[in-house]
Structure 1
C-alpha cells in the first residue's frame, strides 16, 4: 500500500467513525441469508384458481370506450407478455358475476343511496325479462372468456325485489328478507339468468352462489344484501337444487360465503355458525352433501380475522381442520378487500406496496394455514378512495383514466403463475421474520412465491430445485417493478426489500 492509499484509508476510517461516510459494509448488514427447504413428502391442497368480482363497477366500466375497458380487461385477465417478457396482466382464471336484485330499476326508490351500488337484473319489476339489461357486465364476461378465463360463478347478494318481503334488495329489520312463499320463483329466476348468460356469452355458469355473507343484518341501505340463518339457508338450497334438477344445466351450487372465517367453525352466533358441520355432516339436520348439484366446497371471507398474528393463524388452522373432517370437501376464500383492522385501515386508496404486501401475506396465510384451494378478491375494479380494488377507474359512466395498483401485481405473483391443478408442497424456513414462502408443484415445475415484508434484501437458498439448471425465471413486484421478469442460475436468488417474488424452476431430480 502506498502512502496515498494508506492516507486515504485512514481518512475514510476516520469519517466512518464519525458517522459521516456510510461504508459499503453497512449494505451487507441489511442483507439476510435464508434457507427454504421444500418437503415433497408433504403435499397439501390442489389449487383451483384465483379470481375477482365484477361488482359493482363493471356495469358502467363495460360501457366505457374500447381502449379503456380493454385495458382494464387486459390487466385482470391477460396471459400475454410485452417484448421484455413482462406480463401484461395477472391472468385471473376465475370470474365472479354479480346477479343483481333489481334495485337499479327501482332507482332512488330502492333505498340504496349510491346508484353505483344498485344492481341490475335481467328480470324486470313487471316480471318480464330484458336480455339486454346488463350490457356492461356481459361485456366483461365476454372479455374474460376471450382472454382465457375458464371458471365463472354467479353470486347473489339479495333475491330479486319481486321475491322479497319488503320489495327492497336489503332487509328492513335485520332478518331474512326472502319471501319463502316465493322461494321457488327465486330459484327459477336464477335458472333463467344462467340460461340468458349462456345465450349472450356462450358461458354456462360453473357455479352459483345464492347467498352472500348471511350473517350480517343488511339493513342499512348501503348495498344489496339478505341475511339467513343456517336453517333458512338449507331450505333455500334444497329448493334451488330441486329446480336445477329439472334442467339440463351442469351448474353447481356453491355455499356459504361466510362473512368471517370463524362462522365456518365456532363463532358464538350458533344460528349462523358452525357452517361446515351444519351443511356437510350427515348427522346434521341441515345436511346438503347428498344433493348432487351442491359442490363439495365451502367458502368464507377473510374479513376481520387478519390480526393479531397468532389469532389469525389459529382461525385459519381451525378452518383447515374442520374442513378436513369431511371427505373431499374443499375450502375457498371467496372474498376479501381491506375493510380495516389493527394493521391496516380500509380508507384511502393505495396504489403502492403497503397494501400489496399486506394482501400477499394474507394470501400466503389463507393458502398455507387454511388450505384454501381458491382465493378470490372482492372488487376487480373500483372507483373509491378505498383499498378495495385491483384496478381503479375514474367514477364516470362514459370514460376516464384507468389506474393499476401494486396490489394487482402482487396478487399476480400468485394468480399468473400457479396453474390450476398445482399442488401445494410444505416448506421449512430457517428464518420467518417478516418473510413468507409457499411452493406449488405442477408438471415437474416448482413455483415458489416469496413475500419479503422486511427492510432487508434476502439471499434465498432454495433447496428442492434442480441446481444444475442454467435458467430460472423470476418475476418481481416491488417499487418500480410490476411482475418484472428476470433470468438467473439456480441458487442466485436475491429478493429485494418490500417485494413479492415468484420463482419458477425445475423440480429437483
Structure 2
C-alpha cells in the first residue's frame, strides 16, 4: 500500500441514449466472444480497505460522512460489499505525530502512565488493563454505517504495535529490509490481532471471514528515519518488513490463535505488493505455513506475471483475492479527464482476466484532496482514489465547506461494480479489453473498454451458448466524458450475434437478456482430440516411450493427439482433467518429480491436471499432486526436448496452444 488516491461528486443520472446497431465508416470494430466453458469460481465481490479514509473522515459531521459512506458502499455509489478493517499498531505515547493524514490508525492497547518508546516489554496478552476496547472510534463509525451492506469482512495489519517491533516504531525498521517483527513477540502479535477481531465482532455484531497479519511484507518500502532531535521524520505510514522465513512462523501462529479463541476466520496472506514478490513469498513458506493459509492475497501495483499467482493458487488449492490496488493514471490532478477512468477499467479487466481472483479490492476509494492537489504529493498534483475530500475538515463542516469530488474512475468502476454481482461467475473472453460474467446459467454482463479515439462497433458473438431466446437482447450502459452509466436502447440478438456502437474513450456494460447455457460439443472437455503446440517452440506435446517430449507438429501423428475428461466438475476454471493420449491410451501423470504416461485407471491427483487460460487460446497445465506446471526443460526449442515439471513462471515454455481436430 504505497502513497495514493483521488476525485468529483455527482451521481450522473442515467438517461436514455441511442446506440446504433449498424456499423459506420469511421468506427473501428471488434468481436467479443464469451466462453461459458471456462468459468471462474463464484465471485465474492468488490471491496475497499477502510484504513486511512475511515480514520480521517469517521469523525466528520453526519452530512459529510454519510455522503462519503454512500458513495463508497451505497447502491448508487461504488456499491462495494467487501470491507477490510485496518487494525492499527500505534506508536509510543511520547512519539510526536509524523504519519500522513489518516495513517495514524490507533493501537488497541493502554500503556501505563509514563510509558515511552524505550518501554517495549510491558504489554501482556489478555490483560484487560492493557487493552483498549473502545479504540479507533472513527474507523468503527464506518463499520457500523456499512455493516448491513457488507457481506465479507477482513481484518488486516500494516504493522505490529511499536512494542512488538524491532525498531520501536510502526513505520518500519531503520533498514527497510531488516526483519521488523520481534522474534520473541510473534505469539503476542497474533494474540493482539485476535483480541481486536473478537472485540469488534462482539461489539458490532459482525463476523470476520479472514484475518491478514501482513501487508506488502517482503519489500523495501518500510523505513523509519530519525531527525536530529531523535524523533521520526518518516516514513509516513505504518509498515513492517517481514520476510518469508518469519511469515512461515507467523501464519500458523495466527491460525492457531484464531482457532483457540473460537473464531472461524481463516488466515489470508501475504498481501504482497506484486505477483513476483508474492511468488517469492510462497516459495519461501514452509509446508505448515502453506497449509495454515486459508486464502492467498496479492496486490497488483506491479502488473507483470499475474498468471503466476493464479497458478500457484490453483496448485495449492487456495482461493485468491486481488486485495489491494490503486492508481493515478494521470500526471496531474483532474476530475473530468477520461484517462484515469480508462486506466482503472484496464486495471480491473486485466486483473480479473489474468489473476482469476474471487474478489477485487480497491485500496482507498477516498483520498485526501489536500494531498492530491498541486504541491501536495507532487508539484503537479496526482489522481489517486475515486473520491476526494479534504482530510482536515473542521467539526462544523458542511457539504458546502467540505466539498466532495469524484473523478472518472468513480464512474467507470461502477460499470463493473453495478453489473457484476457477488455470486456471478466470470467466464473466458477472447478480447483483452472485455470482461464477461454469468449469473447461474445466464450470460448477464459483458463490460468492454474502448480506449481508442474513435467510436467502435462491438459485435458480441454468443455462439458459445446453447439457448438464445427469441427476443434476446443486449442493452448498453455507457460511461464516457459526457456522463456516467447512460442507458441506451436494447439491441436484438440476431443469428447469435448483436452489434452495438460505443463511443470513443468509453466503458460500456452490455446487459444481456435471454442467452444461457453452454453449447454442446464446446470446450476442451468435449471429447474431441486436441493438439497442444508450444508457444515458445512451435512444437507439439508428444507421447514417447512412456514419457512426454515436444516434436515437430504432425497432424497425422496420434502420439500428438490428446483427449481431456473433466473429473471433478463442469466448466470450472479449477476443474481437474485427465489427459489421455489417443495413440497409446495412457494418461498424462507425474511420478518421482517427472512427467510420465501411465495406464488409465483410478483418478489419483498425480494424473489430474487443472488448466488455465487468459482467453487467447493458450493454456498452462497445473498438476494436482505437485502444484507444478508442464514445462519444456531448459526452455529448449529442440525437436525431442523433454517435458518436465517446474514452478509457474509465466514463461512461453509453459504455455500451449490448443488446436482441435
* TM-score, normalised relative to structure 1: 0.80
Partner of residue 317, structure 1: 307
Moved more, 377-386 or 491-500: 491-500
Q: Does 1:497 align with 2:504?
A: yes
Shift of 1:372: 2.0
Shift of 1:356: 1.3
Partner of residue 243, structure 1: 257
Unaligned runs of 5+ in 1: 1-26, 80-87, 266-272, 280-284, 306-311
CA distance in 2, matches of 1:53, 1:34: 36
Shift of 1:224: 0.8
Partner of residue 276, structure 1: 282
Q: Quick one: structure 1 residues 338 and 419, their matched pair in 2 at CA, closer, same or farther if it must change by over 3 Å?
A: same
Q: Quick one: structure 1 residues 467 and 409, their matched pair in 2 at CA, closer, same or farther if it must change by over 3 Å?
A: farther
Partner of residue 414, structure 2: 412
Q: Quick one: structure 1 residues 353 and 252, their matched pair in 2 at CA, closer, same or farther if it must change by over 3 Å?
A: same
Structure number with larger C-alpha Rg: 2
Shift of 1:507: 5.0
Shift of 1:407: 0.8
4+ residue stretches of structure 1 with deviation over 4 A? Answer: 344-347
Structure (1/2) with the larger helix percentage: 1
For the 8 Å contact 1:382–1:388, the answer to whether it is kept is yes
Partner of residue 513, structure 2: 506
Partner of residue 91, structure 1: 79
For the 8 Å contact 1:447–1:503, the answer to whether it is kept is yes
Task: Please give the secondary structure, in 2, of the residue aligned with 1:68.
Answer: helix
For the 8 Å contact 1:469–1:489, the answer to whether it is kept is no
- The structure 2 residue matched to 1:437, chosen from 397, 421, 434, is 434
Shift of 1:404: 1.7
For the 8 Å contact 1:33–1:459, the answer to whether it is kept is yes
How large is the Cα RMSD of the aligned pairs?
Answer: 2.3
- The structure 2 residue matched to 1:461, chosen from 439, 453, 459, is 459
For the 8 Å contact 1:276–1:298, the answer to whether it is kept is no
Q: Trace 1:391-406 onto structure 2 (pairs within 5 A).
A: 391-398=387-394, 399=397, 400-406=402-408
For the 8 Å contact 1:51–1:95, the answer to whether it is kept is yes
Shift of 1:258: 1.0
Q: Trace 1:291-440 onto structure 2 (pairs within 5 A).
A: 291=292, 294-295=293-294, 297-305=295-303, 312=304, 315-327=305-317, 329-338=318-327, 344=329, 348=333, 350=335, 352-383=337-368, 384-385=371-372, 386-398=382-394, 399=397, 400-429=402-431, 436-440=433-437
Partner of residue 26, structure 2: 30
CA distance in 1, matches of 2:89, 2:316: 34
- The structure 2 residue matched to 1:73, chosen from 52, 69, 73, is 69
Shift of 1:212: 0.4
Shift of 1:347: 5.8
Q: Quick one: structure 1 residues 278 and 440, their matched pair in 2 at CA, closer, same or farther if it must change by over 3 Å?
A: farther
Matched length: 438
Moved more, 360-369 or 29-38: 29-38
Shift of 1:137: 0.6
Q: Trace 1:31-180 onto structure 2 (pairs within 5 A).
A: 31-79=27-75, 88-103=76-91, 106=93, 108-109=95-96, 112-126=98-112, 127=123, 128-146=130-148, 148-169=149-170, 170-174=172-176, 175-180=178-183
Q: Deviations over 1:81-120 (max 9, x none)?
A: xxxxxxx2121111111111113x747536x343532221
Q: Deviations over 1:248-291 (max 9, x none)?
A: 111111001112211133xxxxxxx1x33444xxxxx3442433
CA distance in 2, matches of 1:188, 1:338: 34
Unaligned runs of 5+ in 2: 1-22, 113-122, 124-129, 225-234, 373-381, 493-497, 517-661
Shift of 1:28: 3.9
Shift of 1:200: 3.0
